[in-house]
Amino acid sequence: MRITIIGCGRWGSLIGWYLDTLGHEVTLYGRAESRHMQRFLAERRNDLLQLGERIHLTTEMGPALDADILVLAVGAQSLREVCRTMCAYGLRNRRIVLCMKGLEKETGKRLTEIVADELDPSNRVAVWLGPGHVQDFYAGIPSCMVIDSADNRLKQELIEAFSGPLIRFYFGQDLIGNEIGAAAKNVIGIGAGMLDGSGMSTLKGPLMSRGTREIARLIKAAGGSELSAYGLCHLGDYQATLFSPYSHNRRFGEAFVKNEPYSELAEGYDTVQALMVLAGKYGVELPICGAVYEVLFGGKRFPDILEQLFARSLKHEFR
């Protein structure tokens, strides 16, 4: 198939590399001013991987959209703008795959909702979610991931096209739950980094169990299945997000409490704002996510917030 990847950062380039190994005709698009694309054009590599010679590189959006499948791998907060740019080219009847995790910070909208807002309804959309790091995939370490969509035929088409020895794909059964869960795990990851940075890594156990439970409540209130919080897109991604040295969200949380600079994208920073919007909309209490929010945006000290969490009632463990 002819597949274009929109976005040439660490995930976009990894997807291009992976789909090329499966024999697809791959185009990687990036903005002309992007430092990532400038390096790919000069060297066909970044700090993590080397692109195969068959992968076509372009900075022109129009020609890039002439493909069977479009995979979007951009920052979640940039998705609406990217969709509007694509819409200007009269985009119709495309299969669109969102390989990103997040929620719109101002509205709390899921990424598929943003696509529905901005693109023609003839375009069919799916999400590609689940655990994995570029470094592991490029080293040949396999993982399991999820394709989900409101369109069952699209799920089947994509799983057949994208499956290989490196990634086993599962059919998602809960688009709402998988999108919220995948986004929220980055917020829990920031909390894990704050524990690491404070020398309290042993508290990751309670963080994992309680964090999953509060996200399950939110998913249910939003109309999804609370069991999705225990699947690959949330709890199943905790190892890669709460413990891995490659996790940008964990590393950001650690750097934040240590007052150290951190320049890489940590999607959980914006996602926690979106979760607070959803918590208010659905009347769901999110103690851990709320604590992360208060540290990041409320000027609260992490030790004080942690003490408040421990002071909460312990009577109803699974409430």
User: Which active-site residues does the annotation give?
Assistant: 185
- The two three-digit tokens of residue 205, written as one number: 């156990």
Q: Which uninterrupted H or E stretch holds 168?
A: strand 167-171
Q: Are 80 and 102 in contact (CB under 8 A)?
A: no
Q: Which residues contact 9 (CB under 8 A, 6 or more apart)?
A: 36, 73, 74, 265
Among positive and negative, which fits the CA dihedral 31, 36, 37, 38? positive
Please provide the size of the chain in residues: 319
For the chain, the farthest-separated pair of C-alpha atoms sits apart, in whole angstroms, at: 60
Rounded CA-CA distance 257/267 in Å is: 17
3-state helix, strand, coil in the chain (%, to 5): 50, 15, 35
Alpha helices in the chain (DSSP H): 10-21, 35-43, 61-64, 79-87, 111-118, 134-138, 152-162, 175-197, 204-221, 238, 248-257, 268-282, 287-297, 302-310
Rounded CA-CA distance 129/234 in Å is: 9
Q: Are 87 and 70 in contact (CB under 8 A)?
A: no
Rounded CA-CA distance 29/64 in Å is: 7
Residue 70's nearest CA partner among 105, 142, 19, 144 is 19
Q: Are 214 and 287 in contact (CB under 8 A)?
A: yes
